Structure 1
Amino acid sequence: MARRGHRPSQAPASRPRFYGRHAVLAALANPERRVRKIWGTREALGALDLPPVIPITYADAADLGRLVPGDAPHQGLVAEVDPLEDIWLGDLLEQGARDRRPLVVLDQVTDPHNVGAVLRSAAAFDALGIVTQDRHAPPESGALARSASGALEIVPWVRVVNLSRALGEIAEAGFWRVGLTGHVEATLAEAIGREGRICLVLGAEGEGMRQNTEAHCDLLAKLPISPRVESLNVSNAAAIALYAVATRPTVPQ
């Protein structure tokens, strides 16, 4: 487990509320996560083996709906949690020093649904983790946790102050930094090759990567999509890129 930084205990008003079966069960299963309280229907809570130290409140579906945004599908479960403590980038890079797992860097992707979906893809393709800039990424939230479908609890998420500096540290760790953009000729398959550690860098949908972020990539590449589609959602692009890295051929021994 990577070393984590200290984060002060959150006030109740600032603690995220996770909802939905996958998000809540994954939070309960994560020893690094502190679950403060759970609300649920008798049917949903009856199916769980909860530690006696966690306060629970029985509620009907309508009452649970008032605890979450809009028409969020809570599936009978809502949990108030503390955010996970920070992970240091250097620790994460050291943790993956002996394998070829890819790393994902997101440049100012602020939509929690997109970040959650990227986390889910990162879990599916066994990525080392994701890296975002602290000030331009969403906080942990119920929407993000639900989109991640449990992956928020198992994929390391590093928040950094300076993304350019982080990309420099990633390069020093031996990663080939590949930025995804549509305005180049090289394809991702050409960029990732057959060996080496890959760091995939993606920008927000529409704006793409910032110029300074592109400048800190070793190579820019595109996904070979049809000209009938201008671009892909960043979470879809991340999933395709992670699949490409996971299935690339290896150099014969």
Structure 2
Amino acid sequence: GKILANLFYEPSTRTSSSFTAAMERLGGSVIPINEVKYSSVSKGESLADTVRTLECYADVIVLRHPETGSAAIAAKAAKKPVINAGDGMHQHPTQALLDSMTLLDTFGTLEKRRIAFIGDVLHSRVFRSGYTLFRMLGAEIGVCAPPLLRSGHLPLDMVELSDARAALKWADAVVVLRLQRERMQSGLVPSLADYRQRWAVRIADVEENSCYVLHPGPVNAGVELDAAVVDHARSLIRRQVTNGVFVRVAVLVEALGIPVVQPSSVVT
């Protein structure tokens, strides 16, 4: 069977486990490398060297790295396929794919649908990948974030929303983004209490509107949303996790060139 190397320079539960489950469903196996700081990298090995070594063992490499552009560097160095599982604050393409699948399952099409991102847009690779793909699929995009947590170069075609309540009224679906405190400098958010007051998604507001709620995880319940929102009828959060495996199976099938057998027609 095929072998996948999960090369994660940043902590991950969902994405790493999802790729592992996807590879095992395809009959392959996984080399898990989730503590890179304790490996040869801490001895001075470059990303390119690490990737070239791993491709001697594996047929495909899944990479998460804290630096923007790292996936492109790895792909250039490697002869085997490299899948971007998140490069710094830049991109997270498989998250955008699974979010799009979840929304398409719900709405049938994203044409003219309104999708709002709420929270830490500045540090979010989920926002950058999601915005690009949702717009390609015809959606209108809104953004709702504290002034210091907005990207300095927001696209001009985005609708700016004043707070979480306004976003839930405007949108067909909202993507709630966690505060990435590990990437922040001090002072971007005065306090969590102040943040919740204006930017948290509250269960009462969810119940008052027909808007669906997504979250890429991990969820900081009680910060960017109420805990009760996660399993509410309007929440798509659990479905996102399930769809993540299906999407990553498809990505691996494409990357590895695995033949797809179409089911034969049944004649009765």
TM-score in same-fold range (> 0.5): no
Q: Which has the higher contact order (CA 8 A, sep 6+)?
A: 1
How does the TM-score come out when normalised to structure 2? Answer: 0.28
